[in-house]
Structure 1
Amino acid sequence: MSASLRAPETELADGFRNAMRRLTSSVAIIASRDGDDPVGMVATAVVSVSTSPPALLICVNRSASLHSPLTLCGRFSVNLLSASHSELIPVFAGLVKGAERFAHGQWEDLHGLPCLADAQSSLVCTLDKRVDYGSHDVIIGRVDAVRFAEPINPLLWENGSPAISARLTQ
């Protein structure tokens, strides 16, 4: 793109944020361990990478309280929330600090990591690759274990608010 067609940096950043508000995403809680203490954060930047080997991509801001423990531990869980978990969003987005976050919801240990007992699905991962990009690390985790629930009723994030999905009839 030529320089004359490029938007000023702040205008581009604002436009990008507004565009991403239109990208509906599943809400997850990424969790790990800081020694014996559980650590976690809410996230929407979770993407399937491959089935062979099973792998996920997550993005974690390097300033997030989860970042350092996750990279040191080298293992994490991704807990996809169901529509009934909307009250966990503010808790894991910073309203509650540290291990106290895990007093909210039904957490249990799965392969040494905190996993939400009634999550849509919980995936236990080992950090496989990490790429530094901007303010975040792009992390690829190799999936070691999977657990999922029925029925499918995911909690979504759309335009800055929780949302639910609806099937279209054909």
Structure 2
Amino acid sequence: MEAPVTQTLDISERSTLVPAQTFRDGMSRVGAAVHIITTGGLAGRAGFTATAVSSVSDEPPTVLVCLNRNGRSAAVLAENGVFCINTLAVEHQALADVFAGRGGIGGEERFLHGAWEERVTGAPVLSEALVAFDCRVVDLRPVATHQILIGQVEAVHLGPARPALIYANRAYHGL
């Protein structure tokens, strides 16, 4: 069997027909669950708020996250090689803002907000998350200003079922 061909998608050289602001305005109308992506290890702890999260496969359990590759979290996450997707409940709006960088709180200080623990990989798990996917990095792919982070799920923490925090039309909503 032939090995799969992988190719880095570099779209930075292409001209675009859609202005960036029009694209952002369009994407703002696509509702998505809100997550805090965390990492922990020798490079330290870091985390950020994300909506660009998806399952890839259930055999093996695999997920993806898109993150800005110029942010501090991207370098720490790549060095640690582990991450956790913490899916937020509607009551976690303030925590989502903290990890989105609102209010000027950064780095390790973000973890003073919320109750955090560690599971299999050592990445911080939000104790009150709706669900937390504890993952090991299996691939990082640069695409334009971002990286597509692909992780194999090592453990799943199921929290109590309650309304999820959703981001749409540039505002939080409960679902």
TM-score (norm 1): 0.88
Q: Deviations over 1:34-60 (max 9, x none)?
A: 527321001011011110110111011
Q: Which structure 1 segments of 5+ residues have no match?
A: 1-7, 166-170
Q: CA deviation at 1:131?
A: 1.0
Q: CA deviation at 1:25?
A: 0.4
Paired AA for residue 156 in structure 2: V
Range that drifts further, 106-115 or 24-33: 106-115
Residue of structure 1 equivalent to 2:65: 58
Matches within 5 A, 1:76-87: 76-87=83-94
Q: 1:33 aligns with which of 40, 59, 64?
A: 40
Q: Which has the higher helix share?
A: 1
Aligned partner of residue 128 in structure 2, secondary structure: coil
Paired AA for residue 107 in structure 2: G
Q: Which structure 2 segments of 5+ residues have no match?
A: 1-14
Aligned partner of residue 153 in structure 1, secondary structure: coil
Q: 1:105 aligns with which of 90, 110, 114?
A: 114
Q: 2:26 aligns with which of 19, 41, 45?
A: 19
Q: Is the 8 A contact 2:43 2:79 kept in 1?
A: no
Residue of structure 2 equivalent to 1:133: 143
User: Would you say how many aligned residue pairs link Structure 1 and Structure 2?
Assistant: 158
* RMSD, aligned CA: 1.6
Residue of structure 2 equivalent to 1:3: none
Paired AA for residue 113 in structure 2: H
Q: Deviations over 1:91-122 (max 9, x none)?
A: 10113110000000111112212110010011
Range that drifts further, 25-34 or 36-45: 36-45
Aligned partner of residue 86 in structure 1, secondary structure: helix
Residue of structure 1 equivalent to 2:131: 121
Q: 1:71 aligns with which of 48, 55, 78?
A: 78
Of all paired residues, the percent bearing the same amino acid is 34
Q: CA deviation at 1:9?
A: 4.8
Paired AA for residue 23 in structure 2: F
Q: 1:96 aligns with which of 77, 100, 105?
A: 105
TM-score (norm 2): 0.85
